[in-house]
Structure 1
Amino acid sequence: MMEPNYSTDHPIFTQARYASFWERFGAAFLDGLMLGILQFIMRFFVEENVNTVLNFLVGWLYYAVMESGPNQATLGKKALGLKVTNMNGGPITFGQATGRYFGKILSAIILLIGYLMMLWDNKKQTLHDKLAGTLVVKA
């Protein structure tokens, strides 16, 4: 009987390279800087009460659309070579990206513990990653 010929040229499984705390911090800093400049400019053109709602919507849509889009990354993540994936390494949905955004608010409310969780997590997941079923990996 003839043995099947399996090629070993390509690895069957590749380990994800999870983004470090400082890589994620750098990406968040860049995103915050860009959004901050945009929000600063918007305040000159929009009434204060409308501006508050608009800032919230712009922030949510920026993160949700960019992270669930074809690049799977915000501009800050893209600049640092990072992307957001589901637990299988695939793209995330708009719903997952929305969950991540609101999870970040929760992470901040609890004294930033939600962000620091990644320091002792094997997959470097924050609270909002765990809530949304996502990973941040090197692209």
Structure 2
Amino acid sequence: MAVTNPAGFWKRFAASLLDGIVVGGPITLAGYLATGTAEANWFTSLVNVLYALVVPVVWHGYTVGKRIVGIRIVRLNGAPVGIGTMFLRSVVGGLVYFVTLGAGLIVSAILVAAREDKRSLHDLIAGTYVTTDPPAVQAAGPVGISS
């Protein structure tokens, strides 16, 4: 399946910013209440990783920020993302950005701006892309037997 309706840089940036505000703020507050420190700690790191791994899997590729903006993550073949795909995208992609001291983030921004399919480094690693297409509606089966 071909990449359809890829989301561009600004929509993806807005979704990340919204995730940081709407989800990151409460996670930081909860981390402070749980550990007594406002700095990044094991609690906030764990909850952020779980959020990035689980929420897109159970919510059709959306995170809170992506849902607000109207974009979502899908696999290249159009299938929903799974935990393994999100692990590659979030954890392995994050490690690439960490090891390159942030240079990978700059490369990703350029890729999203320049590539026709708008795929970043972590999309290339995980075999995903971000689209404005809504999830496919499941065909409804019979609700009941009528006479």
User: Which aligned pairs between 1:20-35 and structure 2 lie closer than 5 A?
Assistant: 20-35=8-23
Matched with 2:24 is 36
8 A Cα contact 1:67 1:73, kept in partner: yes
- Identical amino acids, percent of aligned pairs: 28
Over 4 Å off, 4+ runs: none
Measure the CA separation in 2 of the matches of 1:71 and 1:79: 14
What root-mean-square deviation, in Å, do the aligned CA atoms of Structure 1 and Structure 2 show? 2.4
* Aligned mate of 2:44, from 44, 55, 61: 55
Structure 1 gap ranges (5+) = 1-12
| 2:97 aligned with 1:107 | yes
Deviation of 1:14 after TM superposition, in Å, equals 8.1
Deviation of 1:118 after TM superposition, in Å, equals 1.3
Measure the CA separation in 2 of the matches of 1:105 and 1:58: 17
Measure the CA separation in 2 of the matches of 1:134 and 1:14: 11
Structure 2 gap ranges (5+) = 135-147
| 2:116 aligned with 1:122 | yes
* Aligned mate of 2:58, from 52, 69, 86: 69
* Aligned mate of 1:85, from 64, 70, 74: 74
Aligned residues: 127
| 2:130 aligned with 1:136 | yes
8 A Cα contact 1:106 1:114, kept in partner: no
Measure the CA separation in 2 of the matches of 1:89 and 1:105: 26
Cα deviation, 1:76-101, whole Å, max 9, x if unaligned, reads 00111111100011101111112111
Measure the CA separation in 1 of the matches of 2:23 and 2:95: 16
| TM-score (norm. length: structure 2) | 0.75
- Which of structures 1 and 2 has the bigger CA Rg? 1
Letter in 1 for 2:18: L
